Copies of this chain bind each other. A is one copy, B any other.
């Protein structure tokens, strides 16, 4: 029983082969940003037996228990981020690539009267190109 199996149990998710394998891809090498398409491609490269539907289902499962965050960049694909702490993003348009920014690096003070203090999330995406 490896570490990710334990993490799945801690989040009340049954550690199936697909969840464990996708979990290793996602959490095995530092913070990552993926789309469902990218993750399916990677799992195919590793000859894992995972359907595209299961990739979607597992991403949603992980998101629902707080293992992943969603990032909305453009009007097509949804991105998933293994960093679930509060932070911001740079999107490198040329490369369709996301980079995290620590909230410490950018100070955003939102006047309370605008939001009545009921903030649930603050999304900041800085888009850059060359």
Contact = CB atoms under 8 A, between A and B. Distances in A.
A126 interface: yes
A105 interface: yes
Interface string A84-124: 00000010010000000100011111110011101111111
Copies of this subunit: 2
Contacts of A78: 75
Contacts of A122: 124-127
Contact of A106 (B101, B110, B128): B110
B70 A72 contact: no
Interface centre among A78, A90, A108 (most CB of B within 10 A): A108
Nearest to A93: B120
B116 A128 contact: yes
* Interface range on chain A (Cβ under 8 Å from partner): 20 to 34
A124 B108 contact: yes
Given A120-B128, A126-B115, A127-B123, A107 B105 contact: no
B120 A129 contact: yes
A126 B120 CA distance: 8
Interface of A: 70, 72-75, 78, 90, 93, 101, 105-111, 114-116, 118-130
